[in-house]
Chain A
Amino acid sequence: MLKILKYSFYDLIRSRWSYVYFLFYLALGFVLLFLNNDVSKAVITLMNVIIVLIPLIGTIFGVMYYYNSREFTELLLAQPIKRSSIFMGQYFGVAGSLTLSLVLGLGIPFVLYGLMQSNAIFDFSLLLVTGAFLTFIFVGLSFVIAISNENKIKGFGYAVLLWLFLAVIYDGLFLMSLIVFEEYPLDKFSLVATILNPIDLSRILILLKLDISALLGYTGAIFKKFFGTNLGFLISLAILLLWTILPILGLRYKAGKKDF
């Protein structure tokens, strides 16, 4: 598995897309800091980018990589290698290189602008951790979609739809259901609905550090317990981990059963 991981990783780096991705984040980091000159404000802007863009790029990259390396995968399958190691290797290769681009691309400008001295360092590292989680989750989901669809167009379509659903439509439905059922006690429902969507979950995780004063504005015992203590933070992190593991398990299962 490690060999394949290494191969996928170097393959991506050679293909220059990793560089483009890395340079994009590098530019973004520098521009944000140049315009704001305030690390904590830049973290807020960055959050918007991270929770929307990372899932999108993760999804597209994952699907693209899977379809592109299909022939090579078939070649590997003909060798006496375990199926799970082939697919796990590819998955970790892609997700790993994307995460590396993200962490380096954003990390370098922030470190250069004196992040180490500022007290936003914790917010910022949280941002990167969430970004890494989102990359792993969405590359995993896109691999599952790609492996289940032979048709590339269909696979792409589903993958983009998945992103669109989780990033935008889900929140719309969520909001609508909250307003329709506003007569009922909704705090449990809203927390559960947040947890069920990795993008919402990452957003809340970051907000717990940034906008805590607004989140505490709502009178509800469950909210207060969730947002007011470390409990919310730990639960969100645990569920995010669960979200990462689930697509991987799905991928293993699909890869084991699929007839090539």
Chain B
Amino acid sequence: MRASIWKVCNTCENSSIKETIARAHAYDTLLVQKGRYREFEILVDKPLVIRGIGYPIVDGEKKGEIFRVTSDHVTLDGLFIVNVGVSYTKDNAAIRVIQSKNFQIKNMVLEQLFFGIYLEKSSHGKVYHNRIIGEAVDEYNSGNGIQLWYSSDIEVLKNHVQGTRDGIYLEFSDRVTISENVSMDNLRYGLHFMFSNNDIYTNNTFENNGAGVAVMFSKFITMKNNTFRKNWGTAAYGMLLKEINDAEIKGNIFEENTIGINIEGSNRIKYTDNDFIGNGWAIRVIGACYTNSFKGNNFLYNSFDISYNSKLNDNVFEGNFWSSYTGYDLDKDGIGDVPYRPVKLFSYVVNRTPETIVLLRSLFMDIIDFSERVSPVFTPDNLKDAQPLMKVRS
């Protein structure tokens, strides 16, 4: 039996996607022509390729879920899906994939959505080059752009997600690769990990989200070459790490965030070759962080480089460049001869009494910081970079 091609258009014999799917056989292709299809709860229960020609609009008219994929080997390509129904009891999604393997979702445009792409207990799939534009206003009645729940071995590539609750959300999802996505203007997090291990995310951009990336309760996450920009606000972070162990954070750029990285209860993490530029706090350590190492990072013009709230330090700082380092290098080996103490007394004071932030950069604080730097009393005295670089690592 040969795979056949079904043409779907408003004026054709097959004018409904739903009915055409029922008629089609496994491994057939549906070519959906340009037009508007007012359909929802479209069940894809056999391996099909559903391809849109000229971005046909699938309008759910706010009635409920739109595509539900329950079969393996399904490809959805080039559809424009709008008006997903908002529900407070069901997580309605534009595309929901349930327990299927080897699926591909690509070149889709999703607008006016609740949840965008929802992968449930699925694996070995690819979510590629989709554009998800939400209009979320409140956290309680908005959904996530791309959500992975108990899904593994999935690639999320080159998507653009904006205006949703969490741009990309992973829960209990292992071995997921997330690359070259742009996640911006989301209410909560650009990318959110919960109980997900061995995941990799690289070359993504996170801009102006509640927090860029929140990584929580996960192990062995690799984070490389991402850009975190302009995550501003009272509880806004470029990256929020909570209960993370054995991760690698390398080559990322943190620019103009209120807090570059907020670290809590995270151990054995390697921070290398990152750039922290113009953040309020480059790194804020809340507590219970042990055996982390910070090597070869650039700290440029942050209001505070490192903030610590305890006197105990078990983390290593070595070979970083600090723009506020004032030491000298007599032996000309490129490494400063005097250690640099990145924790200012002022950051300790601000931790205690947040209102004191209005004294930022005042002469009085500079004098106090200087005296604390000479003889540390309040800040951990072994917290120092003994080999600060003289020149910016390029």
Residues of A that sit less than 8 Å from B by CB: 41, 44, 47-48, 51-52, 167-169, 171-172, 174-175, 178-179, 182, 186-187, 189-191, 194, 200, 203-204, 207, 211-220, 223-224
Contact = CB atoms under 8 A, between A and B. Distances in A.
A219 B235 contact: yes
A238 B360 CA distance: 21
Contacts of A203: 360-362
A174 B233 CA distance: 25
B355 interface: yes
B364 A171 contact: yes
Nearest to A215: B357
Interface residues of B, number: 34
Given A213-B256, A219-B354, A175 B364 contact: yes
Nearest to B323: A41
A217 B355 CA distance: 10
A168 B363 contact: yes
Interface string B345-380: 000010011111111111111110000000000000
A189 B353 CA distance: 13
A191 B357 CA distance: 11
Contacts of A48: 361, 363, 366
Contacts of A223: 355
A53 B150 CA distance: 62
* A-B interface, 8 closest residue pairs, ranked by CB to CB distance from nearest: A214-B280, A171-B364, A214-B303, A213-B280, A219-B234, A186-B355, A218-B354, A190-B355
B258 A172 contact: no
A47 B234 contact: no
Given A186-B353, A216-B234, A224-B234, A47 B280 contact: no
A213 B232 contact: yes
Contacts, number: 105
B278 interface: yes
Contacts of A213: 232, 256-258, 278-280, 303
B281 A217 contact: yes
B259 interface: yes
B363 A216 contact: no
Contacts of A171: 359, 362-365
A138 to B, nearest CB: 15
Contacts of B363: 48, 51-52, 167-168, 171
A241 to B, nearest CB: 20
B279 to A, nearest CB: 6
Q: Chain A interface mostly helix, strand, loop or mixed?
A: helix
B258 A216 contact: yes
A211 B360 contact: yes
Given A213-B256, A220-B355, 10 more contacts: A44-B301, A48-B361, A51-B363, A167-B363, A179-B353, A190-B358, A207-B360, A215-B357, A215-B360, A218-B234
Contacts of A167: 363
B304 interface: yes
B301 A41 contact: yes
A217 B280 contact: yes
Given A182-B353, A219-B354, A214 B359 contact: no
Contacts of B278: 213
A87 B136 CA distance: 62
Contacts of A214: 258, 279-281, 303-304, 357, 360
A194 B358 contact: yes
A191 B367 contact: no
Interface string B246-260: 000000000011110
A179 B351 CA distance: 11
Given A213-B278, A213-B279, A218-B354, A175 B360 contact: no
A203 B357 CA distance: 12
B54 to A, nearest CB: 41
B150 to A, nearest CB: 35
B269 to A, nearest CB: 22
A168 B360 contact: no
A226 to B, nearest CB: 10
Contact of A172 (B301, B357, B364): B364
A216 to B, nearest CB: 5
A47 B304 CA distance: 17
A204 B304 CA distance: 17
